[in-house]
């Protein structure tokens, strides 16, 4: 079961097609797809019986992929198709929770783009890869790649030249407002946190300087003498 497919040199949704239409193929295996537009089930594409394609069961994904990872990919595509206010947010500071809008995916949907699971592409190094979710135009050009982060981040060398977002499977599962936060942590701090960091560093520097200063040695000697005097009085 798929929500997008190829028809000639275009990418199409099932809503663009009619029952019995020929020439529609799978984005993953290039096998022929059947258009299902009945009254009982949600309209969809499906593979012909006996297909070995990983997408024929509706989930997609590679071997060893967890159910949470598959569910997150499907949810992102579903929300892209159904939401009227889907956004990707990004933290602006590695220290606090301040966020800013990175992309409005609804604007891409309104422009006629598609969200597709397990989209095959060739990266900037000429290596064949598969995007967990790709936002593409009807010519198949990728505009945004959304990877589901679960056990490790995608290496920078594997990232395509287009816009790239990583979300955690857990955050996608728990999301209820269609505002998803990119897991990639910025390397800078906001103005407020920068001021706090500066004060903390100054405090630590003063402690370090005092630790090795002559004043500390005098203070420790005076404290020791006071302790000795107090001990004699008790005896």
4-32 pLDDT, tens digit per residue, is: 788 888 888 787 888 888 888 887 778 88
Query: Which of 135-144, 152-161, 223-232 has the lowest average pLDDT?
Result: 152-161
Q: What is the mean pLDDT of residues 114-118?
A: 87
Confidence of residue 162 (pLDDT cuts 50, 70, 90): low
Evaluate if residue 135 carries a pLDDT over 80.
yes
Q: Can you give the pLDDT at residue 230?
A: 62
Query: Which of 78-87, 140-149, 166-175, 178-187 has the lowest average pLDDT?
Result: 178-187
Contacts 24+ apart (CB under 8 A), 3-9: 3/44, 3/45, 3/77, 3/81, 3/115, 3/116, 3/117, 4/114, 4/115, 4/116, 5/33, 5/45, 6/30, 6/140, 9/139, 9/140
Q: What would the pLDDT profile of 191-221 be if each residue is shown by its tens digit?
A: 888 888 889 888 888 887 877 777 777 777 7
Q: Can you give the pLDDT at residue 57?
A: 47
Evaluate if residue 178 carries a pLDDT over 90.
yes
Q: Can you give the pLDDT at residue 88?
A: 93
As a whole-number percent, the residues of the chain with pLDDT over 70 amount to: 82
Evaluate if residue 60 carries a pLDDT over 50.
no
The residue among 179 and 126 whose pLDDT is bigger is: 179
3-state percent breakdown (helix, strand, coil) of the chain, nearest 5 = 30, 30, 40
Evaluate if residue 232 carries a pLDDT over 70.
no
Q: What is the mean pLDDT of residues 61-70?
A: 67
- Contact assessment for residue 170 and residue 149, using Cβ atoms and an 8 Å cutoff: no
């Amino acid at each position: 079961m798929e929500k997008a497919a190829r028809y000639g040199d275009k990418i199409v949704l099932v809503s663009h097609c009619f029952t019995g239409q020929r020439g529609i193929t799978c984005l993953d295996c290039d096998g022929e797809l059947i258009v299902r537009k009945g009254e009982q089930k949600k309209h969809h594409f499906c593979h012909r019986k006996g297909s070995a394609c990983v997408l024929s069961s509706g989930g997609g994904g590679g071997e060893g992929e967890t159910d949470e990872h598959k569910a997150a990919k499907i949810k992102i595509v579903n929300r892209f198709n159904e939401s009227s206010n889907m956004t990707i947010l990004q933290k602006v500071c590695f220290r606090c929770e301040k966020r800013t809008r990175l992309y409005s995916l609804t604007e891409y949907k309104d422009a006629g783009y598609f969200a597709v699971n397990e989209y095959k592409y060739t990266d900037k190094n000429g290596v064949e890869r598969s995007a967990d979710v790709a936002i593409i135009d009807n010519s198949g050009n990728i505009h945004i790649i959304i990877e589901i982060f679960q056990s490790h981040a995608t290496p920078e060398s594997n990232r395509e030249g287009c816009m790239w977002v990583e979300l955690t499977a857990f955050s996608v599962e728990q999301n209820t407002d269609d505002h998803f936060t990119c897991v990639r942590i910025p390397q800078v701090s906001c103005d407020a946190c920068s001021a706090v960091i500066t004060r903390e560093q100054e405090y630590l520097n003063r402690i370090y300087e005092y630790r090795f200063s002559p004043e500390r040695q005098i203070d420790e000697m005076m404290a020791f003498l006071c302790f000795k005097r107090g001990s004699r009085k008790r005896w």
